[in-house]
């Protein structure tokens, strides 16, 4: 994208792969964005249904969440980026709050280090890949950036912040819960704030989760925009909101007739993680190699 700053992803694909192969590649990107958006939406709905609104139908919760999603996704890159900045500033207190349980932690829980060796550690790394996804938006958002030279710095900084936050949550969880006790919690982060009580507030984890919705929206809405933007490029339309409405209405329609289980949502997220290996990690490397060989071959013919 840096070699073609004014090109959209579809323009770059069709330039090097041809019209039809370029469109096929764009379709895979759209399907990946839809898969990511649906996985995040269903995961968010499941958490809200369990912790906050257990008696409310999931399709009704989806209808309520669709309102801010449509308002943000339809406004384009500028509003989405402003919302991302707002989310970071608005939720800075949340990682700091998780240091409070350290006063009741036990350092002995960290021992012995690497009891089972490095192999279980490496096997678990693949489950954390989803947490670091998002840098693939550079392929879609690059033409919209005014300061394109800072894109790389932003990607590295965002992943470093994600790394430190996840290290903090993991570290605090292992100190607060026993090695056997942590396996009994599906959402250890929410369980860390459950003991917090105030005279005017009974369940602080609901407040914590409500603020966490801003973070999930910040992850979900760019994927919705990516799918919509890709469809508009394929159909040669400018900023049509119909794909956004279609995606969200499709989720509501599915939830009206069928409620996925936690196992099915986990399987969907695992499939998303597997797809990310090919779309996010393998595709850029292969395509960059192909572009280099293509340009070398083209220069050799001149």
CA–CA gap between residue 214 and residue 235 (Å, rounded): 31
Q: Indicate the domain borders of the chain.
A: 9-301
- Going by C-alpha positions, the residue among 163, 162, 182 that lies closest to residue 172 is 182
Sign of CA dihedral 67, 71, 76, 80: negative
CA–CA gap between residue 268 and residue 223 (Å, rounded): 16
CA–CA gap between residue 280 and residue 285 (Å, rounded): 9
Q: Is the pTM of this model over 0.95?
A: no
One digit per residue, pLDDT tens: the chain, 302 residues? 666 667 788 888 888 888 888 899 899 999 999 999 999 999 999 989 988 888 899 999 999 999 999 999 998 888 988 998 899 889 888 888 888 888 888 888 888 777 777 787 777 777 777 777 777 777 777 777 777 677 778 778 888 888 888 888 888 888 888 878 787 777 888 888 877 777 777 778 888 888 888 988 988 999 999 999 899 988 888 778 899 999 999 999 999 999 998 899 989 988 988 888 888 888 888 888 888 887 787 777 76
């Amino acid at each position: 994208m840096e070699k073609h700053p004014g090109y959209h992803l579809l323009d770059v694909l069709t330039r090097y792969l041809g019209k039809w192969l370029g469109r096929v590649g764009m379709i895979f990107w759209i399907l990946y964005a839809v898969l990511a958006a649906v996985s995040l939406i269903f995961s968010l709905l499941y958490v809200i249904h369990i912790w906050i609104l257990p008696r409310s139908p999931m399709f009704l919760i989806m209808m309520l969440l669709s309102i801010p999603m449509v308002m943000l996704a339809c406004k384009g890159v500028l509003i989405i980026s402003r919302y991302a900045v707002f989310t970071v500033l608005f939720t800075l207190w949340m990682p700091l709050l998780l240091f409070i349980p350290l006063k009741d932690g036990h350092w002995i829980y960290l021992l012995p280090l690497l009891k089972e060796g490095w192999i279980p550690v490496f096997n678990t790394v693949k489950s954390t890949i989803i947490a670091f996804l998002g840098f693939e938006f550079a392929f879609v958002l690059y033409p919209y950036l005014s300061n394109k030279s800072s894109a790389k710095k932003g990607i590295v900084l965002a992943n470093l912040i994600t790394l430190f936050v996840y290290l903090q949550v993991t570290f605090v969880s292992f100190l607060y819960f026993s090695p056997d006790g942590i396996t009994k919690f599906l959402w250890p982060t929410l369980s860390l704030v459950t003991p917090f009580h105030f005279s005017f507030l009974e369940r602080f984890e609901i407040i914590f989760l409500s603020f966490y919705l801003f973070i999930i929206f910040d992850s979900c809405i760019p994927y919705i925009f990516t799918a919509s933007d890709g469809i508009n490029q394929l159909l040669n339309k400018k900023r049509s909101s119909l794909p956004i409405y279609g995606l969200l209405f499709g989720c509501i329609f599915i939830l009206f007739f069928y409620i996925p289980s936690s196992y099915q949502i986990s399987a969907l997220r695992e499939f998303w993680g597997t797809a990310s290996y090919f779309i996010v990690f393998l595709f850029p490397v292969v395509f960059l190699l192909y572009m280099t060989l293509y340009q070398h071959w083209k220069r050799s013919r001149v």
